[in-house]
Amino acid sequence: MHALPPIDAVAFDLDGTLLDSAPDIGRALNSALAQEGLRRVDLATVLGWIGDGPDVLIARALAAQGMPADDGRPQVAALRGRLRRAFDVATLSAPLVDGKVFPGVHALLAALHGALPMVVVTNKPTPLARAVLGAADLLPWVAQVHGADTAALRKPAPAMLLAAAQQLGIEPQRLLMVGDGPADMLCAEAAGCPAALVAWGYGAHAVPAHLSPRHVATPHQLLGALRAALLDGLPAGALINAQRGRGRIVTS
């Protein structure tokens, strides 16, 4: 992984970055489809559709069943609305059943806590994101949750990253975006944020080559890079108290 510039905070994507949530996303989608008498979707297909939020996910599921996104019939629009409501109900009632936190993520967030503010920037709407983070015991580690509650906020638009930087009181170029797919990397580019592309998620293969993001193989590698970036930005004598496993900055 290439060295990071000085960083004051980290923004994490959710699905495919912090959580292997595809099984639960697929379960919620199939629950909604079943209520309308529509065909189920297998997990491999769902994996290819994740990253742009539930409305786009539902649109892709309907397109696969002969109802494309540009179908303007009122009954199709009404169907999309019912599917979205059913998807939300299924997610909120069981946020994390078959999904799991990626290995090493709990340790990463625990080590960074107290050293760097952390936020989540996701195309999942905020209520769903907070429910999933809470079920995964990750919510206590993050200072903010920015979800795409409207289409205009959805990554790759930079609005959520810019809002996170503003609320943290830092410049966008000091906020690292960590994600697993094209929307994350394009969002970071649009916001002027540095970016790190994780190898363990769903969409790294689809990231445009011209973006040249920093590639991260494991959460442990990311932690090492962030510690190095912190040390580079500290006065002489400062260090990370890694032995305590909290990433706390202390000065001697």
Q: Which of 170, 177, 134 is nearest to 155 (CA)?
A: 177
List Cβ neighbours of 244 (8 Å cut-off, separation of 6 or more).
none
**Which tokens is 211 given?**
């973006």
Residue 179, token pair as written in the block = 């994600």
As a whole number of angstroms, the distance between CA 163 and CA 147 comes to 11
13 in active site = yes
| CA-CA-CA-CA dihedral for 158, 188, 23, 97, to nearest 10 | -80
The CA angle 195-239-244, to the nearest 5 degrees, is 95
How many Å apart are CA 136 and CA 139, to the nearest integer?
8
**Tokens describing residue 154:** 């959805």
Active-site annotation holder among 13, 52, 55, 184? 13
**Token code pair at residue 134:** 């809470």
The two three-digit tokens of residue 34, written as one number: 């079943």
Name the residues annotated as catalytic.
13
